[in-house]
Structure 1
């Protein structure tokens, strides 16, 4: 009887093995098929001082129970990109009909070649790799340092620091000055901020340029379209614990908000002093002051959504300043040039504060446009 059962058992085992083998060999065509990357971005953080290259890689995983065909894997910049790709062993910028077995993966190697002294090279060299399958499009972002500079990523300064003008600074993912810490910026220093990279000051900022060597704060996109584009970086924010800030002979350009200061100063000095500065091409408020104090003189605030916005009171002095606003192809003013309020409506609650604001020998000029009241 045992001898009769053995062939039957063997038959069941063979059928089971064949069933699962066939299932693993089936090609999955469902839109819901899952593809995973070992990373969603490759960041090449090598700073080049001469022509050089570096290679990183990532894996594409097929975690499904059947084979999956990638319709194409493509370097979006193609042959003009600074990047080169090797996709599953093929040195090409596009590979089609790439099959990955169930529970398997393939490698994509990415090499970037940088000439930091090339005339047109940006600070950040970006591209992406498209992975297209079953009607889905997924991307891996590529980011490399281009022009020779000091690159700071998500940096918090926890001790007194000085920035000099020997190389530009490129800020990625924000720069914060900690409470009780001073950042001193010397004349002629240039700071370039990546998108979504604010300068947050909880301590003290002392940026003092000269007539011939101004300090520059602007976005890191230098190509022609972005050169005068408002909103390319968030701006400079002086928060509650910040005090004793001084900006002189500084240019603040192309931010979403130029300077934002909030909270009373803990000393007899204003929270921020601004002299001989230029704030222009700002998408929202050039200077936004909320229940704080500021002394601003000999400063130009030009082409902003709202040049000066004061809310919830505070103590302010503006002397020999010019507030000019003219609509351009990329800036359309919809708010008053200067707005001064002793209240702030936030989250349905009106907050008020004592207001003392003086404007001495200041010029306000603008082109007629649509202004919301």
Structure 2
């Protein structure tokens, strides 16, 4: 019985001794630390915005418990970097302990203020120093900081500025967070990138001009709204001179880390509202939006409400191009993968697409809708149907393809016009659905709807190329186009000349 009492006395005593050992047996580190990285490269950040968090590990490979006398940023209080060492935040730390054969994490973030900088970007560097003056070891820190012009709604008394956009089905007003661009904000240049929070609205009677080489980054739930009576002119260009910086205009989200480069749905849309006019998009790349382009209203405008040339709409969470009872002309334009539809011509309208590639190879989840969807009506949640005539939807020298059997569907109300024409194009429509096959809109022998088309032919894109919708040397799209429009489509999306037997799609094959 007494021996058990001794156990209860001895065990707490041994635990006390162990606690004392932890307090006194750590020796100072003497330059033997190992690191998971010798340099931490933080991705590009914008002026005054915090970066993502990066990390590295510090290893104690010895059999002794060690204490690092100092861990600090070499630039001290002037550093734009911040640290979290073993759970503690700051810029300098003392007596950081690492048990034998163990490790700790160091987390790094950055924020820089470039207001006094003359250059639009600079390479920021620093180092995390470990140890005392005799046994210092370092891990370098590097990031590129870009100056930017920030555009955002004002906030007053806790209320963020908003824009009215209409009423809901119950007649209640609807608004979105946003602001109206002022006269001195209506020209975007390539001197500095633009970062937009909320919706930047172009007011009536004004034109937002975005010059070649401009880069526009959108925060979550942000975009551009071109209001009634306003216009958007995107004036990108392409240069074959490799010594000249790319002159296309790019719209994308404001997360610059590589892991966000192909994440869809990072921002809202380019919204060409009803009543906007004379919109022109040239050499524009739009990627990772919810809806890349949303245009509505004005189906009978001549020339059309919107002209799209040499542009790409890629990786939208929902739809790359949504046109609702509107009018546009598109040439050398690509609508790539999207979570729902690449191109949706909804509620009628007036459309002409020449040398376009509509190709949906979405692989980030299930997709139940085709690359191309055309309708001439809409239904409300109350079951009310509204119809509008599809005056024209003409596709010439196009490619419509994807990774599903059916990549084009038509949803027609018989009470309204539904005028579609496909000429010299590759079309993907592979199905055994008897209801669809009996629909006269899918009678591919009807010369009033289909002329010189190739059905269910793989266009053989070079999917691993920098431009993944270019044609391989064996593509059936080569030389199937009509030359009827060669005068207006003399060059492809890259500026390469087409011959008198042009290829279908936005790219002209350049091989022998």
Please classify the TM superposition score into its range, dividing by the shorter chain length.
Answer: 0.5 to 0.7
Structure 1 window deviating more from structure 2 (205-214 vs 146-155): it is: 146-155
1:311 aligns to 2:346 (yes or no): yes
Deviation string, structure 1 residues 139-175 (Cα, Å, up to 9, x no partner) = xxxxxxx631111112412437211100000001221
Q: Please state whether the residue corresponding to 1:315 is helix, strand or coil.
A: strand
Q: Please state whether the residue corresponding to 1:225 is helix, strand or coil.
A: helix
Distance 1:344 1:163, change over 3 A: same
Q: Measure how far apart 1:337 and its partner are.
A: 0.6
Q: Please state whether the residue corresponding to 1:258 is helix, strand or coil.
A: strand
Distance 1:119 1:351, change over 3 A: farther
For residues 223 and 191 of structure 1, the distance between their equivalents in structure 2, rounded to whole angstroms, comes to: 16
Are the equivalent residues in 2 in contact too, given 1:242–1:265 (CA < 8 A)?
no
1:234 aligns to 2:268 (yes or no): yes
For residues 201 and 331 of structure 1, the distance between their equivalents in structure 2, rounded to whole angstroms, comes to: 32
Q: Measure how far apart 1:327 and its partner are.
A: 2.6
For residues 321 and 339 of structure 1, the distance between their equivalents in structure 2, rounded to whole angstroms, comes to: 15
1:281-296 alignment runs, 5 A limit:
281-296=315-330
For residues 118 and 334 of structure 1, the distance between their equivalents in structure 2, rounded to whole angstroms, comes to: 46
Q: Measure how far apart 1:368 and its partner are.
A: 2.5
Q: Please state whether the residue corresponding to 2:359 is helix, strand or coil.
A: strand
Q: Measure how far apart 1:221 and its partner are.
A: 0.7
For residues 198 and 349 of structure 2, the distance between their equivalents in structure 1, rounded to whole angstroms, comes to: 31
Q: Measure how far apart 1:304 and its partner are.
A: 1.3
Give the TM-score normalised by structure 1.
Answer: 0.61
Q: Please state whether the residue corresponding to 1:327 is helix, strand or coil.
A: coil
Q: CA RMSD in A?
A: 3.2
State the match for 2:195 in structure 1: 170
1:214 aligns to 2:248 (yes or no): yes
State the match for 1:353 in structure 2: 388
For residues 119 and 91 of structure 1, the distance between their equivalents in structure 2, rounded to whole angstroms, comes to: 24
State the match for 2:112 in structure 1: 114
State the match for 1:159 in structure 2: 183
- Segments of structure 1 that go 5 or more residues without pairing to the other structure are 1-45, 50-80, 94-111, 122-145
Q: Please state whether the residue corresponding to 1:283 is helix, strand or coil.
A: coil
Q: Please state whether the residue corresponding to 2:393 is helix, strand or coil.
A: strand
1:119-198 alignment runs, 5 A limit:
147-154=146-153, 155-159=179-183, 161-198=186-223
1:204 aligns to 2:231 (yes or no): yes
Q: 2:291 aligns with which of 257, 260, 264?
A: 257
Higher relative contact order (CA 8 A, sep 6+): 1
1:275 aligns to 2:274 (yes or no): no
Are the equivalent residues in 2 in contact too, given 1:173–1:196 (CA < 8 A)?
yes
State how many pairs are aligned: 252
For residues 82 and 346 of structure 1, the distance between their equivalents in structure 2, rounded to whole angstroms, comes to: 52
Deviation string, structure 1 residues 346-365 (Cα, Å, up to 9, x no partner) = 23221111111111111011
Give the TM-score normalised by structure 2.
Answer: 0.45
Q: Please state whether the residue corresponding to 1:304 is helix, strand or coil.
A: coil
For residues 346 and 314 of structure 1, the distance between their equivalents in structure 2, rounded to whole angstroms, comes to: 19
State the match for 2:403 in structure 1: 367
For residues 267 and 218 of structure 2, the distance between their equivalents in structure 1, rounded to whole angstroms, comes to: 6
For residues 375 and 289 of structure 2, the distance between their equivalents in structure 1, rounded to whole angstroms, comes to: 23
Q: 1:326 aligns with which of 361, 370, 374?
A: 361
Q: Measure how far apart 1:120 and its partner are.
A: 9.1
For residues 193 and 353 of structure 1, the distance between their equivalents in structure 2, rounded to whole angstroms, comes to: 33
For residues 294 and 175 of structure 1, the distance between their equivalents in structure 2, rounded to whole angstroms, comes to: 22
Deviation string, structure 1 residues 263-291 (Cα, Å, up to 9, x no partner) = 11685221111010011111111110111
For residues 394 and 406 of structure 2, the distance between their equivalents in structure 1, rounded to whole angstroms, comes to: 27
